């Protein structure tokens, strides 16, 4: 089992624009990494932090924790830190609201059942006019809140529904094709950086986002592939303590989190990850 801890100085150094984070690992991982980043992002004095969420996969199901307020004093974070929840796939999201009220219903990640599995979705960006342009296209999945992100999730699941209706896991190639076509449509509406998991694989789409100079431009998502030896001093820059067997990790984030060689996703690029390994890339 792997235990990840991010040093306090690393948390302060990272730009607060970061909204999305995903960890996929070969060995189940206990992550205080994401939780401490949420606490750093969600300090009460920080303007614009409108909620946070964490999803820990356990096979077909997941544990979901989310709140529509800053995370600085959340008892849920203390509980999760004590529980030390192991998972091969962890998704997290920090919300800065653009559409929809600041409420639990609009707090990501969003989760739905499809094909006997929990599917999770997190989005960074702004999809202007999505409800009007795609009205009536989602039938089996209805939004609970008012956010453009949840409408996008319902649209995606509606398009995936025929693949999952047979009750078996669809071929990965067919899922990639549906996801890539969906992402291409969404990025015409605005910045569309997505993390989507179906209990079998993680699909990520990189687009563009607000950069430090104020421009809206690529990259909107970065990835880091890591093959770690069981050495607590192997990755001092990231402040990671490793326990147990050698580990394989894929990390995805809105901005690089360490000084390691993070790779930007090109605008429109789709990647698929499973248990710490990159399965496929679709550059579109």
**pLDDT (0 to 100) of residue 235:** 37
Catalytic residues: 18
- Distance CA(167)–CA(162), nearest Å, equals 10
46-82 pLDDT, tens per residue?
445 778 899 999 999 999 999 988 777 778 877 887 8
* CATH classification of the domain holding 133: 3.60.20.10
**pLDDT (0 to 100) of residue 8:** 37
- Distance CA(139)–CA(267), nearest Å, equals 30
Q: What 3-state DSSP class applies to 169?
A: coil
Number of domains in the chain: 1
- Distance CA(70)–CA(38), nearest Å, equals 8
CA 179 distance to own-chain centroid: 15
- Contacts (Cβ under 8 Å, ≥6 apart) of 134: 151, 155
Closest CA to 86 of 4, 8, 19, 11: 4
10-39 pLDDT, tens per residue?
332 333 444 798 989 998 887 764 445 444
Closest CA to 172 of 23, 24, 277, 272: 272
Q: How would you write the pLDDT of the chain (284 residues) with one tens digit per residue?
A: 555 554 433 332 333 444 798 989 998 887 764 445 444 544 444 445 778 899 999 999 999 999 988 777 778 877 887 888 888 999 988 876 566 678 899 999 999 999 999 999 999 988 999 999 998 888 899 999 999 999 999 999 999 999 999 889 999 999 999 999 999 999 999 999 999 999 999 999 999 988 878 888 999 999 999 876 544 443 333 333 334 455 788 999 888 877 788 999 999 999 999 999 999 887 76
- Distance CA(152)–CA(258), nearest Å, equals 31
- Contacts (Cβ under 8 Å, ≥6 apart) of 86: 1, 28, 29, 30
State the residue range of the domain holding 54: 2-282
- Contacts (Cβ under 8 Å, ≥6 apart) of 173: none
- Distance CA(182)–CA(159), nearest Å, equals 8
Residue 185 φ/ψ, nearest 5 degrees: -65, -40
């Amino acid at each position: 089992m792997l235990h990840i801890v991010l040093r306090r100085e690393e948390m302060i150094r990272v730009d607060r624009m970061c909204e999305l984070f995903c960890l996929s690992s070969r060995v189940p991982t206990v992550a205080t990494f994401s939780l401490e980043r949420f606490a750093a992002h969600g300090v009460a004095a920080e303007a614009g932090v409108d909620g946070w969420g964490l999803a820990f996969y356990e096979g077909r199901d997941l544990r979901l924790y989310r709140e529509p307020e800053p995370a600085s004093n959340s008892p849920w974070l203390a509980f999760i830190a004590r529980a030390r929840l192991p998972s091969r796939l962890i998704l997290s999201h920090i919300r800065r609201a653009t559409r929809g009220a600041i409420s639990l219903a609009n707090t990501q990640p969003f989760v739905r059942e499809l094909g006997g599995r929990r599917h999770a979705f997190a989005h960074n960006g702004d999809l202007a006019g999505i409800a009007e342009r795609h009205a009536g296209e989602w039938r089996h999945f209805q939004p609970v809140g008012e956010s453009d992100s949840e409408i996008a999730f319902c649209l995606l699941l509606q398009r995936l529904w025929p693949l999952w209706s047979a009750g078996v896991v669809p071929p990965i190639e067919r899922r990639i094709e549906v996801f890539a076509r969906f992402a291409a449509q969404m990025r015409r509406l605005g910045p569309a950086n997505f993390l989507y998991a179906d209990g079998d694989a993680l699909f990520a789409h990189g687009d563009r986002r607000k950069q430090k100079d104020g421009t809206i431009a690529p990259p909107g998502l970065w990835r880091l592939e890591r093959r770690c030896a069981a050495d607590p001093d192997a990755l001092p820059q990231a402040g990671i303590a490793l326990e147990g067997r050698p580990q394989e990790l894929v990390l995805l984030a809105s901005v690089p989190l360490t000084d390691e060689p993070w790779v930007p996703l090109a605008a429109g690029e789709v990647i698929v990850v499973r248990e710490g390994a990159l399965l496929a890339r679709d550059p579109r």
